[in-house]
Structure 1
Amino acid sequence: MENILFSPRHRLDEDAERELGRRLEALWDEQKEPSLSDTQRLNSCLEKIPVSSFPAPPDKQVVEINSDASLAEAVQLLAKHKILSSPVRDINAPEDATWIDKYIGIVEFAGIAVWLLQQVKDISGSFRWAPFLPLHPSDSFLTMLLLLSKYRMKSLPVVDIGEGKIGNIVTQSAVVHMLSKFVGLPWFETWGNSTLSELGLPVMKPDQMVKLIEDQPVLQAFKLMSEKRVGGLPIIEKEGNKVVGNISLRDIQFLLMAPEIYEEFRSVTAKAFCTAVRSHLRLKQEASPLLEDVITCQKTDTIEKVILKLDNARIQRIYVVNSHGDLEGVVTLRDIISTFVQEPPGYFGDFFYQVVPLPINSSV
């Protein structure tokens, strides 16, 4: 069912991350052209660092899923390794096949949510909706960060073209973890000391947010996430605007793997679902953000503080509340990376011709 090469959820080599931070510091100091803005200066630094410098997990294991896997097997694989997605290996491709023939796509919880709502039993042949967009080791950090932010890629396999295999997988959470190790470096503080409001966050206004009232069916949460293409949403108290919970796409695993929840999955409310999941996790003695109170921040918090909160809790989003605890917005990993880099005009050229299908907001 699976091939284990490495799990991107494992913590990266912290010494390598700190060395990377010092390397960026040196490049930052070299950029002394007064006409450059801070953003242009940082872009220039990131353009000089290849993706091959991004730290791989110490155990160097990659998780792949075979193309003949069932829906249940895919869910079990992602849950077992605590990952959001996995490249799909074509079982009919020979060992010496090129990467484009060897890998047919990526399976992730977003797709599993769609399959559950459509009552699909078998995922074989259903991966193409999630594009496999490879990075080459020689691609730059700027390319990597733009793909993970503006172009909404959640994970990027780094492919060794010569050997036709994946050497690393870069995820949004791995990048934010890397950023957390840059805290305290002078070049980073130029950006890290800015508050959310100064950086234009949260982007989405409260009345634009996708959210669910606690007594609504939890299946509606996954339907909304699928329709609105978001990775999670807040659960709001029945009377008021306070966040009482969070449901993300990865939580769909509990509808499929926890029998006590699956039996009633079409009628269980969001509140009851969260309670049942906590009981299931305690019974299994598994650590999870779902066992903790909802983590929040305020617009006056610095981006540095928010990064540390997200990384410490290993979560994908943080809710912004006012002094009364009322919901004011959400900040995601993608939002944070988006404030860090900006795409230069014409930067990607024909880059996206190597992926099928094209990213939805690609201009090529």
Structure 2
Amino acid sequence: MADLEKKGDEKLAEEHGSEKGGGESKAITGLREYLVSRLKDLRISELKLNRKPIVLDSKTDPKKAIEVLLQNKVMAAPVAENNQFVGVFDLRDCIKYALQMYHRDTVDKIKSKAMEFLTISPHIATNSLKYLSRMRTFEMVKESESILSVIRVLAKGAHIVGITNEDGKKLESILTQGEVFQIISKCWEMEKIVQIEKDSNIALSELTKDPFKIVTTPVVTISCQIKAYEAFEKMSTSNLSGLAVVDKSGAIVHNTSATDIKLWLLNSNSLDDTIEHFLINVRKLSLLEKYPVTSCHLTDTLSRVIAKLQATKFHRIWIVDDHRRPTGVCAITDIFRFLH
């Protein structure tokens, strides 16, 4: 909290636009300054927020905590002990425990449901919720602050941000990455962004290097023919929820996401299926659906990326070549960092 309040909101936009100037392209700096200028005066208190944040008590049984998250259709929630937040319990952190049990010979991989793999894990069965939430800190900002303060937290990789009242003692709401992106993208005039990009000839190819990098390369890919459990293991070991699923030619046909973890826990789809069939089944997609992912090219623009992410509500867009082979990825976290 103290770190977030070091500088006033009035200085945030100036900080974004000028302090990082240095050798940056003036055109890209100008684009960033426009995006930030549309956000600096937007107070969190002006937003229509859900006023019933989900908070888990540290004494809650981990199995029950997982059920609470699934019932409320959320991936993560803060954990509190004696009115103090001790961390964040996130379903993304649980997948490795389920996979450990999945490989046990004593487990019926066909009949057992995903939740059974997870809840019989010694890590879930014997550790406290406080222990399991220790990997992630819960950061908060006051509702009187600018949305830029929330972006600053999300730019560091947080998945959720707490919103408090003015004295910082009461948690009023919780904002997720996706919610914040939808809020800020509606603040921008797309025609204005397009004009800036057109006048200065700014394409994604200009945004692949620091200090204004929003495209990450190379990407982590997996074959659509590998087993689903192998894909989940790759997600866990790589600490990435989004992997590009490619066919024999290397063209992207699907992608994994954090939501797939939640869907797997809610269903009983077998991890011995190929990752392609697993994703189709768990998402109730059709094999005829050609491109259940969103993509663009390096010759496209940031405005196109923003428009696609806003329309699909996806958290990432894949950069592909002319043969639809993924060469990079732009996630909403990358856009938060660009603004920060």
- Structure 1 length-normalised TM: 0.66
Alignment correspondent of 1:287: none
Residues 1:197 and 2:202 aligned together: no
- From 205, 221, 225, the equivalent of 1:215 is 225
- From 119, 135, 147, the equivalent of 1:129 is 135
The change in CA–CA distance for 1:183 and 1:276 in structure 2 (over 3 A counts) is same
Q: State whether residues 219 and 326 of structure 2, in contact with CA within 8 Å, keep that contact through their aligned partners in structure 1.
A: no
Distance 1:307 1:68 in 2: 41
Q: State whether residues 31 and 193 of structure 2, in contact with CA within 8 Å, keep that contact through their aligned partners in structure 1.
A: no
User: Deviation per CA, 1:160-206, whole angstroms, max 9, x where unpaired?
Assistant: 3647321232332223212321342777557676432222266333x
Please tell me the residue identity of whatever aligns with 1:255. Answer: W
Distance 1:41 1:326 in 2: 33
Q: State whether residues 215 and 271 of structure 1, in contact with CA within 8 Å, keep that contact through their aligned partners in structure 2.
A: yes
Matched position secondary structure for 1:114: helix
- From 229, 232, 235, the equivalent of 1:225 is 235
Matched position secondary structure for 1:128: coil
Matched position secondary structure for 2:182: helix
Q: Structure 1, unaligned stretches of length 5 or more?
A: 1-23, 283-289, 342-364
Equivalent residue runs for 1:324-363 within 5 Å:
324-341=323-340
Q: State whether residues 50 and 138 of structure 1, in contact with CA within 8 Å, keep that contact through their aligned partners in structure 2.
A: no
Please tell me the residue identity of whatever aligns with 2:320. Answer: V
Matched position secondary structure for 1:135: strand
The change in CA–CA distance for 1:41 and 1:336 in structure 2 (over 3 A counts) is closer
The change in CA–CA distance for 1:48 and 1:276 in structure 2 (over 3 A counts) is closer
Alignment correspondent of 1:240: 249
Quote the offset at 1:323 in angstroms: 2.3
Q: State whether residues 183 and 192 of structure 1, in contact with CA within 8 Å, keep that contact through their aligned partners in structure 2.
A: no
Matched position secondary structure for 1:277: helix
Matched position secondary structure for 1:121: helix
Quote the offset at 1:232 in angstroms: 1.2
Q: State whether residues 159 and 166 of structure 1, in contact with CA within 8 Å, keep that contact through their aligned partners in structure 2.
A: yes
Please tell me the residue identity of whatever aligns with 1:171. Answer: T
The change in CA–CA distance for 1:64 and 1:43 in structure 2 (over 3 A counts) is same
Q: Which has the higher mean CA deviation after the structures are superposed, 136-145 or 183-192? A: 183-192
Alignment correspondent of 1:357: none
Residues 1:322 and 2:321 aligned together: yes
How many residues align structurally? 286
Residues 1:38 and 2:48 aligned together: no
- From 155, 165, 170, the equivalent of 1:165 is 170
The change in CA–CA distance for 1:236 and 1:186 in structure 2 (over 3 A counts) is closer
Matched position secondary structure for 1:63: coil
Alignment correspondent of 1:4: none
Q: State whether residues 202 and 329 of structure 1, in contact with CA within 8 Å, keep that contact through their aligned partners in structure 2.
A: no
Alignment correspondent of 1:253: 262
Distance 2:305 2:79 in 1: 33
Alignment correspondent of 1:301: 300
Alignment correspondent of 1:6: none
The change in CA–CA distance for 1:54 and 1:189 in structure 2 (over 3 A counts) is farther
Residues 1:278 and 2:287 aligned together: no
The change in CA–CA distance for 1:240 and 1:43 in structure 2 (over 3 A counts) is closer
Quote the offset at 1:69 in angstroms: 3.8
Q: State whether residues 183 and 189 of structure 1, in contact with CA within 8 Å, keep that contact through their aligned partners in structure 2.
A: no
Quote the offset at 1:105 in angstroms: 1.5
The percent of aligned pairs where both chains have the same amino acid is 22
The change in CA–CA distance for 1:294 and 1:53 in structure 2 (over 3 A counts) is same
Quote the offset at 1:304 in angstroms: 1.7
- Structure 2 length-normalised TM: 0.70
Matched position secondary structure for 2:261: helix
The change in CA–CA distance for 1:51 and 1:107 in structure 2 (over 3 A counts) is farther
User: Deviation per CA, 1:42-84, whole angstroms, max 9, x where unpaired?
Assistant: 6985895475346233x53322233344444444433343333
Quote the offset at 1:332 in angstroms: 0.5
User: Deviation per CA, 1:82-107, whole angstroms, max 9, x where unpaired?
Assistant: 333212233xx3xxx4xxx2x22111
